[in-house]
Amino acid sequence: MDKFTDDIGSVVAQIPDGATLAIGGFGYAGLPLTLCDALCEADRRDLTIVSNNIGGEDRGGGRLAREGRVRKFVGSFPIAPVFTEQLMTGRAEIELLPQGTMVERLRAAGAGIGAFYTATSVKTSLADGTYPSRYDADGHPVAFMAPKETREIDGRLMVLEYALHVDFAFVKAHRADRLGNLQFRLAARNFNPAVAMAAKVAIVETEEFVEVGDIEPDDVHLPGLFVDHVVLSEGAAR
Amino acid sequence: MSPAIGGEAAGLLAADGAGWSREGVAERARRDLRSGSFVNLGIGIPQLVADFVEPEAEIYIHSENGIIGAGPGAAEGEEDADIVDAGKRHITLVLGASTFDSALSFAIMRGGHLDYSLLGGMEVACNGDLANWAAPGRTPGVGGAMDLVQGAKEVWVLLLHRGKGGESKMRVRCELPLTGAGVTTRVYTDLGVFEPAGAAFRVIERAPGVTRALLEEATEAPLEWPEPDA
- Which CATH number covers residue A73? 3.40.1080.10
Q: Report whether A78 contacts B125 (CB < 8 A).
A: no
Residue of A nearest to B151 (CA): A119
Give the separation between CA B103 and CA A108, rounded to whole angstroms.
Answer: 10
Asked if residue B2 is part of any domain, the answer here is: no
pLDDT of the residue at B87: 87
Cβ separation B142–A76 shorter than 8 A? yes
The total number of structural domains in chain A stands at 1
pLDDT digits 0-9 by tens, B89-115? 999 999 999 999 999 999 999 999 999
Task: Evaluate the CA torsion angle B80, B84, B87, B88 in order and state its sign.
Answer: positive
Cβ separation A189–B84 shorter than 8 A? no
Give the separation between CA A123 and CA A96, rounded to whole angstroms.
Answer: 15
Q: Report whether A65 contacts A83 (CB < 8 A).
A: yes
pLDDT of the residue at A80: 82
Task: Residue B216: give its domain's CATH number.
Answer: 3.40.1080.10
pLDDT digits 0-9 by tens, B207-224? 999 999 999 999 999 999
pLDDT of the residue at B139: 62
Residue in A29, A57, A187 with CA at minimum distance from that of residue B61: A187
Cβ separation A184–B101 shorter than 8 A? yes
B136-159 burial by CB neighbour count: b if 16+ within 10 A, else e? Answer: eeeebbbbbbbbbbbbbebbbbbb
State the ipTM, two decimals.
0.96
SS3 for A180? coil
Host domain of residue A53: 8-232
Asked if residue A2 is part of any domain, the answer here is: no
Asked if residue B230 is part of any domain, the answer here is: no
pLDDT of the residue at A230: 98
Nearest chain A Cα distance for residue B205, angstroms:
31
Catalytic annotation, pick one of B8, B23, B27, B64: B64
- A47-50 and A20-23 beta bridge pairing: parallel
Asked if residue A89 is part of any domain, the answer here is: yes
Residue in B75, A13, B74, B151 with CA at minimum distance from that of residue B83: B74
DSSP per-residue letters across B185-223:
-EEEETTEEEEE-SSSEEEEEEPTT--HHHHHHH-SS-E
Substitution target in B68, B114, B122, B142 with the highest count of A β-carbons within 10 Å is B142
Asked if residue B69 is part of any domain, the answer here is: yes
pLDDT digits 0-9 by tens, B26-73? 999 999 999 999 999 998 999 999 999 998 999 999 999 999 999 999
A53-88 burial by CB neighbour count: b if 16+ within 10 A, else e? Answer: bbbbbebbbbbbbbeebbbbbbbbbbbbebbbebbb
Residue of B nearest to A85 (CA): B139
Nearest chain A Cα distance for residue B190, angstroms:
28
Asked if residue A3 is part of any domain, the answer here is: no
Substitution target in B61, B85, B93, B102 with the highest count of A β-carbons within 10 Å is B102
Give the separation between CA B2 and CA B21, rounded to whole angstroms.
Answer: 15
3-state helix, strand, coil in chain B (%, to 5): 20, 30, 55
pLDDT at A22 over 70: yes
Does the annotation count B8 as an active-site position?
no
Q: Largest alpha-carbon pair distance within chain A?
A: 58
Asked if residue B214 is part of any domain, the answer here is: yes
| Residue A8 per-residue DSSP state | H
pLDDT at A133 over 80: yes
Q: At what angle do helices A99-111 and B102-110 cross, to 10 degrees?
A: 120
Give the separation between CA B180 and CA B174, rounded to whole angstroms.
Answer: 11
SS3 for A70? strand
Beta partners for B73?
Answer: B91
Nearest chain B Cα distance for residue A27, angstroms:
6
pLDDT at B6 over 50: no
Asked if residue B65 is part of any domain, the answer here is: yes
The total number of structural domains in chain B stands at 1
Cβ separation B64–A188 shorter than 8 A? no
pLDDT at B133 over 50: yes
Residue in B180, B215, B181 with CA at minimum distance from that of residue B201: B215
Host domain of residue B95: 8-224
pLDDT at A106 over 80: yes
Share of chain A above pLDDT 90, in %: 92
